[in-house]
Amino acid sequence: MMWRSETACQPAGPVVVAVAGVAGSGKSTLGRALATALGAPLLDLDSLTNPLLDGLPPDVLGGHWLASPHSAAIRDGRYAALRAVARDALATAGRAVLVAPFTAELRGGPEWDLLRGAAGDDLRVVHLAGEAALFTARRAGRAEIRDRHRTALPPEPPSVPVIPVDAEIPTDQQLQVVLAALYPSSSSSSAPSD
């Protein structure tokens, strides 16, 4: 599947897009497609932090890191790492696609302020939404160890502005929805070039 647009995607000014959704929503897949289309670095929270956390002995964290008694501090550290790398990517490449659940950030408040501080005022948030049964089936299909340790909490609707995307439609259609929302004056098949 080819996601890069036929037109060079070099929009003027910094571009930071956060792709949010619960585990199993397809945010990494859409994030990769979007990063490819925009020619932007892909910064996936799981890729940046899971290898370190998975490499630590479980007794160091009091069990699996998702179920650890230190889970709040672990979450804070994971997102601090994502924000730090986002700042570097924005300073050097001028753009980035961030992929994470962003559960707290979508509620607004201090976590949102921290993300906006790292990503800048031009941050756009894509939110993948769908039926809980779809996400449960996807998590079961991928059989990741970390999914056994997830707390199943129903997600709250976003309180911050988002580009809503149906998690059930194919990735190429999701990408077109996002590009059309990011670049409404251009054709739906590609982002504008300089």
- Among the residue ranges 19-28, 121-130, 144-153, 175-184, the one predicted with the least confidence is 144-153
- Give the pLDDT score at 132: 66
- Give the pLDDT score at 193: 47
pTM, two decimal places: 0.81
Residue 66 pLDDT class (50, 70, 90 cuts): confident
Transcribe the chain into DSSP letters.
Answer: ---S-SS----SS-EEEEEE--TTS-HHHHHHHHHHHHT--EEEHHHHHHHHHHHS-HHHHTSSTTTSTTHHHHHHHHHHHHHHHHHHHHHHHSEEEEES--TTGGG-HHHHHHHHHHH-TT-EEEEEE--HHHHHHHHHHHT-GGGGG----PPPPPSS--EEEETTS-HHHHHHHHHHHH-TTS-TTS----
Residue 153 pLDDT class (50, 70, 90 cuts): low
Residue 8 pLDDT class (50, 70, 90 cuts): very low
